[in-house]
Chain A
Amino acid sequence: MKQGFAPSSGLIMRTATVVILPLQLLFSVFLLLRGHNEPGGGFIGGLVAAGAFSLYLIVFGAKASRRLLKVDPKDILAWGLIFGLIATLPALLFGQSFFTAQWLSLDLFGTTIKLSTVLVFDIGVYLAVIGTITTMFFALSERLIGSQ
């Protein structure tokens, strides 16, 4: 078997990945939250987070990545869909048509925080994207390279 993509043993890669991963995840959440006003959003945030996990996967292998992720990628996918569906419902309570966005402004510690079903939906997209990509990557790498 060609050696190919066995977990890289390169010291620089290993060290860098460990340092970069939290930053990437933090950045992805940042992108998710600011997305409504600045470039970003659930889709882009999800891609960044998924990229982070993919990097970890390539460097440390599927087994270690599963340990890191703690939950099954398919569960993340499912939660993404659930959040997406939850966001559709509140409008029905107010007699508006399905999926109408609901906004709630909270004044907290001097700043205004806007909460909305749109945000819930964006979180759903974020999780669905992460779930999709990690599901595919994990399955592929476990099948093709064997789960080291």
Chain B
Amino acid sequence: MLLSIALPFIAAVVAPLWIKKGWHGSWLALFPLLIFCLTAPALADVLRGNERIIQYSWVPSIGLNLALHLDALSWLMLSLISGIGTAIVLYASKYLENHPDLGRFFLWLFVFMGAMVGLVLADNILLLFVFWELTSIASYMLIGFNHESAKARASALQGLLVTVGGGLALLAGMIMLGYQQGTFLLSEMSLIAESSNWITAAIVLVLLGCFTKSAQFPFQFWLPNAMAAPTPVSAYLHSATMVKAGVFLMAQLAPVFAEQIVWTTLVTGAGAITMLLGAWLAFLAVDLKKILAYTTVTALGMLTMLIGIGSDYANYAFATFLIAHALYKASLFMLAGIIEHQSHTRNLRRVRPLPRSTLVVTGMAAWSLAGIVPALGFIAKELTLKANTGDWLLTAMVFLTAVLTIAVAASLVWQPLRSKSPALPVHGEPWQQWVGPIVFSTLALLLGVFAWVVQPLADQIASQMTGAKVIELSLWYGFSQALALSGASIVLGILLASVWQKTRVLATRLRWLSRRFGSEKLYELTLAGNLSFADWQTRVLQNGYLGRYLVLIIAITTIAILSTLLVQYGWPGMSFDALESYEVGMLFVMLTATLYAIASKQRFAAIIALGAVGFVVALIFIHFSAPDLGITQVLVETLTVLLLVLVLIKLPGLKHYSTRLQRFVDATVAAGFGFMMTLLVLAAQENRWAESISHYFVEQSYPLGQGRNIVNVILVDFRALDTLGEIFVLALAALGVYSMIRLRRSRL
């Protein structure tokens, strides 16, 4: 299993070099093929219900282990990822054959594949989250592959923000779930019988993650926009695999949440709405890829709804539909690329007559999309209708969806047939592009007839979810309400398809509605609001005046610490008993120098006075037997004075630039800070809640650190990591000063 995860990442490294060498990309398809071959033999084991579990320790301190498991559902997903992946890599190697960035494309495609394999195999939900986010990032890079197009970039960003935003909610939900269950392993989780606010919150958060990923209402808008990606990407990520991640996770968690009303309501409701909305939008769309994207939204909604219903019929419908959809949708997307190539347009209204071969394969895939006998999709639809029996609202929604989907599927074939524009000369597409569509659409059709092939897998998936009863998959369940509805939907759908061309006027009229009130508008508003807020707070808080920054930082620190101190602790006491006369002397010098620095009208005098303060501080350090600190203080003070002198030499004499009010504010803030520090030091003196750690350092300095200078041992051994960080900060500061000065210079 570990090899299956590693292989795509190896491929991701190999691919760019391979392409650079000028070798053909088709060979890269061997990687996913190999994963497929590795996965296949595990089927026998999986069908017997044996989960394979592997654990490697990774970050045990936060319960993050490399725990992998392989059950029926993840086996299915894994074979889809690798099987469709093989076809996609073949397809892309021709589709983007002469693209200058083909190497980069394969790099991200394989990174995505690896993340997806990891996601479906992960047993630990935190590990799953890591892969989850990785798929979002890979998807971002792939949607924005044509990075010179502003639209592609915006769509990529939208997809990323929506899915990663949901991902954050998911992480929170996962952690809550993990604590409730006492384990982070999916395979060890059990049904939650009781309900509480904690569980409700966890469910809502997890669902936010799943809904955003699987483009469920109200987050469905990013998926059609993601069609800015190259066609192979749309076929792979945004139909067959990545968007299924949310559905996959919901299916994995269904046994845990099945008895929670929040879960069933939300999942069923959002799924059903998404399903109908997607079908409706698919019917309105004219761009071939948009149509497919919306039918994908429909399919995802249907899968989600089925998870929410959770009955035996629903579970079987889920398993069969998952297989059917992945097969026909991947092939439809690949066909869309071919049609675009042959017809020079993706607009279904202007599509030209297509060669017979393309039409036949499209017809086969569209047949499955419509879900008509003998396609596997038909069984799925039949089971879905049965699952909803008794609930007239859901039944009506499924029925309407079916009608619209059939209309869409029919127009996919009908439009090119009816087209009156002249056909373009046919240049044959290479076999690499045909393998996928032909194999998958044939499978989608035939698996309906040979449903017994899918039966054991569906049994296992259903029982793994919430299933109890075995249902035989068959094309014929006898006369029933479901069959009648199925038949009616076909008739209505074909009728609707015949007026498809006429409905376009209506479609364009309705579009403003979604643009005005759709959830995409909400996304845009949120984004714009965020930006203008950032803009406002930058203008107010970070206006570029150093003085403003200092005043703000110091004032806020003072208020925060002082209020906490006074509320939590009250006024600290004060005593002058232990004060020696020479200590008073030192304080006196310091005070005088400070006052002089404030009152002085000359910069140099002020700086030197400040230097004097620093030297007295050094004296205090030495007095309290901290020679290292004393030496450092002296040196730093010397260098600071030098540095300031170097800078200030260029400035004109002191004048009063600031108004009276500003100076008053500055003085107040400064005095307040001093007051706060005094109180803080006094309070710290009076109170020690914990044992001081200096004893430990004194005792262990020589035995552990082999040094007698405790300060130095702390700096370079006990706390060496801090010091390492500090020297990097120093370096950054130096480079900052350097570049600031140098850049100014070039502008002069």
- Interface residues in chain A, defined as those with a beta carbon under 8 Å from any beta carbon in chain B: 2, 4-5, 35-44, 47-48, 50-51, 54, 58, 74, 77-78, 80-81, 84-85, 87-88, 98-99, 101, 103, 114, 116, 118, 121-122, 124-125, 128-129, 131-133, 135-137, 139-141, 143-145
CB-CB contacts below 8 Å: B621-640 with A: 627-628, 631-632, 635-636, 638-639
On whether the beta carbons of B724 and A88 are closer than 8 Å, the reply is yes
The answer, among B636, B712, B735, for a CB contact under 8 Å with A47, is B636
- A140:B715 contact, CB within 8 angstroms: no
Return 28 A-B CB contacts under 8 Å, by A number.
A5-B649, A35-B712, A36-B706, A40-B628, A40-B712, A77-B735, A78-B731, A81-B727, A101-B706, A103-B706, A118-B717, A118-B720, A121-B723, A125-B716, A128-B730, A129-B730, A132-B733, A132-B734, A133-B639, A133-B734, A136-B643, A136-B737, A136-B738, A139-B737, A139-B738, A139-B742, A140-B647, A140-B741
Q: Which 4 residue pairs spanning A and B have beta carbons closest together?
A: A36-B707, A47-B635, A128-B727, A132-B734
User: A143 vs B720: C-alpha distance in the bound complex, in angstroms?
Assistant: 35
Which residues on B sit within 8 Å (CB–CB) of A116? 706
Q: Main SS of chain B's interface residues?
A: helix
Q: For the complex, give the distance between the alpha carbons of A103 and B628 in Å.
A: 24
Q: Is B533 an interface residue (CB 8 A)?
A: no
Instruction: Name which of B711, B724, B742 has the most chain A CB atoms within 10 A of its CB.
Output: B724
User: Is B728 an interface position by the 8 A CB rule?
Assistant: yes
Query: What residue in chain A is nearest B748 (Cβ atoms)?
Result: A143
Q: Is the CB of A41 within 8 A of B646?
A: no
Say whether A135 contacts B716, CB under 8 Å: no
Cβ contact of B639, chosen from A50, A88, A98, A145, cutoff 8 A:
A50
Chain B CB within 10 A, most for which of A44, A81, A124: A44
Taken together as a complex, chains A and B put the C-alpha atoms of A144 and B645 apart, in Å, by 11
Return chain A residues, CB-CB under 8 Å to B741. Answer: 139-140, 143
Task: With both chains docked as a complex, state the minimum distance between the C-beta of B744 and any C-beta of chain A, in angstroms.
Answer: 7
Q: Find out whether the CB atom of A84 lies under 8 angstroms from the CB atom of B628.
A: no
Is residue B721 contacting chain A, with contact meaning CB distance below 8 A? yes
A39 touches B706 (CB 8 A): no
B705 within 8 A of A: yes
Minimum CB–CB distance from A138 to chain B (whole Å) comes to 8
Which of A48, A58, A77, A80 is within 8 Å of B642, CB to CB? A58
B650 interface residue per 8 A CB criterion: yes
Q: B641-673: contact bitstring with A at CB < 8 Å (1 yes, 0 no)?
A: 011011101100000000000000000000000
Cβ-defined contact, B715 with A43, below 8 A = yes
* Whole-angstrom CA separation of A118 from B627 in the bound complex: 21
Q: Give the distance in Å from the alpha carbon of A81 to the alpha carbon of B742 in the complex.
A: 22
Contact assessment for B712 and A80 in the assembled complex, using a CB-CB cutoff below 8 Å: no
Instruction: Write the nearest CB–CB distance from A62 to chain B, whole angstroms.
Output: 11
- Decide if A121 touches B720 in the complex (CB within 8 Å): yes
B709 at interface by CB-CB < 8 Å: yes
Q: Are B712 and A41 in contact (CB under 8 A)?
A: yes
Contact A135 B735, CB 8 Å, known A36-B709, A48-B635, A84-B727:
yes
Residue B708 at the chain A interface, CB threshold 8 Å = yes
CA distance A141 to B646 in the complex (A): 7
Would B632 and A43 count as touching, CB distance under 8 A? Answer: yes
| Contact (A39, B730) CB under 8 Å given A5-B649, A125-B716, A144-B646 | no
Query: Is B509 in contact with chain A by the CB < 8 A criterion?
Result: no
How many residues of B are counted as interface, with CB atoms below 8 angstroms from the partner's CB atoms?
Answer: 43
A125 to B723, Cβ gap below 8 A?
yes
- Asked if B245 lies at the interface with its beta carbon under 8 angstroms from chain A, I say no
| A78–B735 alpha-carbon span in the complex (Å) | 11
Q: Which residues of A contact B516 (CB under 8 A)?
A: none
Are B646 and A36 within 8 A (Cβ)? Answer: no
Q: Which residue of B lies closest to A144 (CB)?
A: B650
With A2-B649, A144-B646 already in contact, the answer to whether A41 and B715 are too (CB < 8 A) is yes
Indicate the member of B709, B728, B734, B735 with the most A CB atoms within 10 Å. B734
User: Known contacts A44-B628, A84-B724: does B734 contact A140 (CB below 8 Å)?
Assistant: no
Contact B716 A42 (CB under 8 A): yes
Q: Are B721 and A99 in contact, with the CB atoms below 8 A?
A: yes
CB 8 Å contact bits of B492-529 with A (1 = contact, 0 = none)? 00000000000000000000000000000000000000
Chain B, Cβ-Cβ closest to A77: B731
User: Taking the nearest CB of chain A, how far is it from the CB of B721, in angstroms?
Assistant: 6
Question: A47-B632, A47-B635, A51-B638 in contact; A136/B734 too (CB < 8 A)?
Answer: yes
Contact yes or no, A74 B735, CB < 8 A: yes
Residue of B nearest to A87 (CB): B720
Q: Report the separation of the CA atoms of residues A6 and B711 in the bound assembly, to the nearest whole angstrom.
A: 39
Rounded to whole angstroms, the CA-CA distance of A96 and B727 in the bound complex is 23
For residue B745, CB closer than 8 A to chain A, the reply is yes
Q: Nearest Cβ distance between residue A110 and chain B, in whole angstroms?
A: 20
Docked complex Cα distance between A50 and B717 (Å): 24
Q: Across the interface, which residues of B come within 8 angstroms of A50, CB to CB?
A: 639
- Using CB atoms, name the residue of chain B closest to A128: B727
Is B705 within 8 A of A101, CB to CB?
yes
CB distance from A43 to the nearest CB of B (A): 6
The residue on A at minimum CB distance from B647 is A140
B264 vs chain A, min Cβ distance (A): 48
Q: Which chain B residue has the least Cβ–Cβ distance from A105?
A: B706
Q: Which residues of the other chain, B, contact A125 by a CB distance below 8 angstroms? A: 715-716, 723, 727
Any A CB within 8 A of the CB of B482: no
In the bound complex, residues from chain A placing their C-beta under 8 Å from that of B734 are 74, 77, 131-133, 135-136
Residue from B643, B646, B649, B716 within 8 A of A118 (CB atoms) = B716
Q: What A residues does B717 contact at CB under 8 A?
A: 101, 118
The answer to whether A44 and B639 touch (CB under 8 A), given A36-B707, A37-B708, A37-B709, is no
Residues of chain A within 8 A (CB-CB) of B647 are 140, 144
Q: Is B458 an interface residue (CB 8 A)?
A: no
**Contact in complex: B639, A40 (CB < 8 Å):** no
Given contacts A39-B628, A143-B741, contact A47 B706 (CB under 8 A): no
In the bound complex, residues from chain B placing their C-beta under 8 Å from that of A145 are 646, 649
On chain B, the residues within 8 Å of A78 by CB distance are 731
B116 at the interface (CB under 8 A from A): no
Cα of A103 to Cα of B713 in the assembled complex, Å? 13
> Chain B residues near A131 (CB, 8 Å)?
731, 734
- On chain A, the residues within 8 Å of B712 by CB distance are 35-36, 40-41, 122
Contact of B731 among A103, A118, A128 (CB under 8 A): A128
B632 and A44 contact, CB distance less than 8 A: yes
B646 touches A121 (CB 8 A): no
In the docked arrangement, what's the CA distance between A36 and B706, Å?
A: 8
**In the complex, how many angstroms separate the beta carbon of A121 from the nearest chain B beta carbon?**
5
CA distance A132 to B639 in the complex (A): 12
Nearest CB in chain A to that of B744: its residue: A143
In the complex, what's the smallest C-beta–C-beta distance from A86 to chain B, in angstroms? 11
For the complex, what is the distance from the CA of A141 to the CA of B650, rounded to whole Å? 11
Nearest chain B residue, comparing its CB with the CB of A133: B639
Q: Tell me how far the C-beta of A37 lies from the nearest C-beta in chain B, rounded to whole angstroms.
A: 4
Chain A residues within 8 Å of B707, by CB: 36-37, 118
Complexed CA–CA distance, A37 and B731 (Å): 27
Q: Give chain A nearest CB distance to B711 CB in angstroms.
A: 7
Least Cβ–Cβ distance between A61 and chain B, in angstroms: 12
With A36-B712, A84-B724 known, 17 other A-B pairs at CB within 8 A are A4-B650, A35-B712, A40-B712, A44-B631, A50-B639, A54-B642, A74-B734, A77-B731, A98-B721, A99-B721, A101-B717, A121-B716, A135-B737, A140-B643, A140-B647, A140-B737, A143-B741
Report the bound CA distance from A35 to B715 in whole Å: 11
**How many whole Å from A36's CB to the nearest CB in chain B?**
4
Point out the residues of chain B lying under 8 angstroms from A43, CB to CB: 632, 715
The answer to whether A41 touches B628, judged by C-beta atoms less than 8 angstroms apart, is: yes
